Amino acid sequence: MTDHHDLPGRGHGGSAVLDRGGPPRRPRDPGPASTPSWRHRLSRWDLKVSPYLYVLPFFGVFAVIGLYPMLYTGYLSFFSWPRFGTAHGDAVGWANYAHVLQDPVFRKALVNTIGIFLLSSVPQIIVATLVAALLDMNLRGRSWWRMSVLLPFVVAPAATALIFGSLFADKSGLVNDVLGGLGLSPVHWHGDRFASWTAIATMVNWRWTGYNALILLAAMQAVPRDLYEAAAMDGASRVRQFVSVTLPSIRTTMMFVIITSTIGGLQIFTEPRLFDTNLQHQGGADYQYQTLAMYVFNTANSAVDPYPRAAAAAWLLFLLIIGFALLNFVLTRALQRRSLA
């Protein structure tokens, strides 16, 4: 007679247990797929829509104070509008643009704007890159140096004009005093065209170089240090590391700085306006340093069709900025591809 303890599938309490060698248990039928709850659907909708809601206020404000004035300016440039009129007159087509392009003062302002832009933006970006590279090194008092380069940016433009006005004064300026002490003839900073460009570009560079240097410094600090260690192990010098590691790694930030400097350089108004000692504020007696932004401002206060002609000049300035920005973008991308090849 067989003992019940020897029977397979029996436990001590007489309950049946599954034999490990037996067939597998059939899985349960999951049934129909459960539909997501309304809270789950709401959370998914929130994740998809909320990013657009966050940026919607910016685009709303931009549409009111940026896009609408720009479009209305373009619309106004095709009409006539007397100086003391309450509404625009008849449509004149491209007559306002033709008048602006044929104006010799506009052509002078165009040359002045490009000249001051080249004397300010190009050295500004080069010096800002070198300053950022120096601040990225292990210097004593790095925090103090980084704060000091931003001091010119926080100085009021009027104070900047007073400082550089005393430096570049024609008769009693410090620069001419130094030149006279060296036996050189004084420079007519407000009368000579290129000299006035140089003085205004110096004001712009002094104010904005530190600001751009801090932007580039932030990009340099984000470069992985492993890349520099690997380059040092391969025998690369600091200059080689800067050219082969730093510059390619910050190319996106460099492109941003170049484009913003281009936009700001072509829209320059404050520095030449404050540099002008003439009571008429026309950019010199012979318009030798009047910029396009100053031309737009002065045209809006002229006697004949001031607003439509100023609107046409403003749109020509806008197209010029777009063209230079695209040119800088294409050239920067081409140089980056050549450096990476």
The pTM score is 0.80
> Helix, strand, or coil here: 79?
strand
Reply yes or no on whether the pLDDT at 197 is more than 60. yes
Burial class, 121, CB count within 10 angstroms (exposed 0-12 / middle 13-18 / buried 19+): buried
Does 15 score more than 60 pLDDT?
A: no
- pLDDT 10s digits, 64-76: 998 999 999 999 9
Tell which residue, 70, 113, 77, has the closest CA to residue 97: 77
| Ramachandran class of 93: left when φ > 0, alpha when ψ lies in -120 to 50, beta otherwise | left
Confidence of residue 173 (pLDDT cuts 50, 70, 90): confident
Can you give 256-323 as a three-state secondary structure string?
A: HHHHHHHHHHHCCCHHHHHHCCCCCCCCCCCCCCCCHHHHHHHHCCCCCCHHHHHHHHHHHHHHHHHH
DSSP letters, 239-269, are: HHHIIIIIHHHTHHHHHHHHHHHHHHHHT--
Domains and CATH numbers, the chain: 99-340 (1.10.3720.10)
Tokens 């397979």 appear where?
8
Residues 216 and 149 sit within 8 Å (Cβ to Cβ): no
Identify the residue with better confidence: 48 or 269.
269
What's the pLDDT tens digit per position in 100-142?
999 999 999 999 999 999 999 999 999 999 999 999 887 787 7
pLDDT digits (tens, 9 = 90+) for 22-40: 555 655 555 555 566 666 6
Q: pLDDT of 255-270, one tens digit each?
A: 999 999 999 999 999 9
For residues 202 and 212, the answer to whether their CB atoms sit within 8 Å is no
Q: What is the pLDDT of residues 298-318, one digit of tens each?
A: 999 887 778 899 999 999 999
